[in-house]
Amino acid sequence: MSTLGNNSIAIEPVTPGESMACRRSGILLGMANLPACLLVFIGAFLRESDLFWRNEGGWSIWMRNLVEFAFYPVFVVLLGSVTLSAGWIVIGKPAQSPLGLLIWGLVVVQVASLFGIAGVVLLNNVLNVLAGRPVHDHGF
């Protein structure tokens, strides 16, 4: 056990069992995050599509309401979940496991999907501003 300077906060070393538990929890949460990332990515495309809001694809009212009101709260929860999963995986030192490359791939896919979701939303808003429309304009 060591202390930080004059503070009385003790830092306990992480044992191999705790490291494995963190990694396992991160992997399980990360695997659960992958389908959620896909659904939110689809929601981002729908949210930024003019055809979706004009009902050109036959989308129901409840689906449009779901995308309109649930997108940002679900995105924030997913952001926290991916951060937690990646943190657990990093704490678990995946490079020491035989599946280390696959585990790091899981982290990269999760983080890349979050950047993709944010990119779709940001790109649409930038294109709206450049075209002289309001930021969240969907053409309806």
Each residue's pLDDT tens digit, 27-86: 788 888 888 888 999 988 888 887 888 777 778 888 888 988 999 999 999 999 888 888
Question: What confidence score (pLDDT) does residue 11 get?
Answer: 43
pLDDT band at 6 (very low <50, low <70, confident <90, very high): low
Are the C-beta atoms of residues 134 and 59 closer than 8 Å to each other?
no
Q: What percent of the chain has pLDDT over 90?
A: 7
**Separation between Cα atoms, residue 39 and residue 33, nearest integer Å:** 10
Domain ranges of the chain: 17-130
| Non-local CB neighbours of 87 within 8 Å, separated by 6+ positions | 26
Mean pLDDT over each residue of the chain, to the nearest integer: 77
Highest averaged pLDDT of the listed ranges 76-80, 83-87, 89-93, 135-139: 76-80
Residue with tokens 């449009």: 64
Neighbours of 63 (CB within 10 A): 15
Question: What confidence score (pLDDT) does residue 9 get?
Answer: 47
If DSSP codes are grouped into helix, strand and coil, which group holds residue 2?
strand
Question: What confidence score (pLDDT) does residue 95 get?
Answer: 61
Question: What confidence score (pLDDT) does residue 1 get?
Answer: 47
Question: What confidence score (pLDDT) does residue 22 get?
Answer: 67
Which one, of 71, 75, 73, 74, lies nearest residue 115 by Cα? Answer: 75
Long-range contacts of 120-124 (CB under 8 A, 24+ apart): 120/41, 120/44, 120/45, 120/48, 121/44, 121/47, 121/48, 123/48, 124/48
Is 111 or 136 the better-scoring residue by pLDDT?
Answer: 111
Are the C-beta atoms of residues 91 and 84 closer than 8 Å to each other?
no
Arithmetic mean of pLDDT, 11-34: 67
Arithmetic mean of pLDDT, 91-103: 67
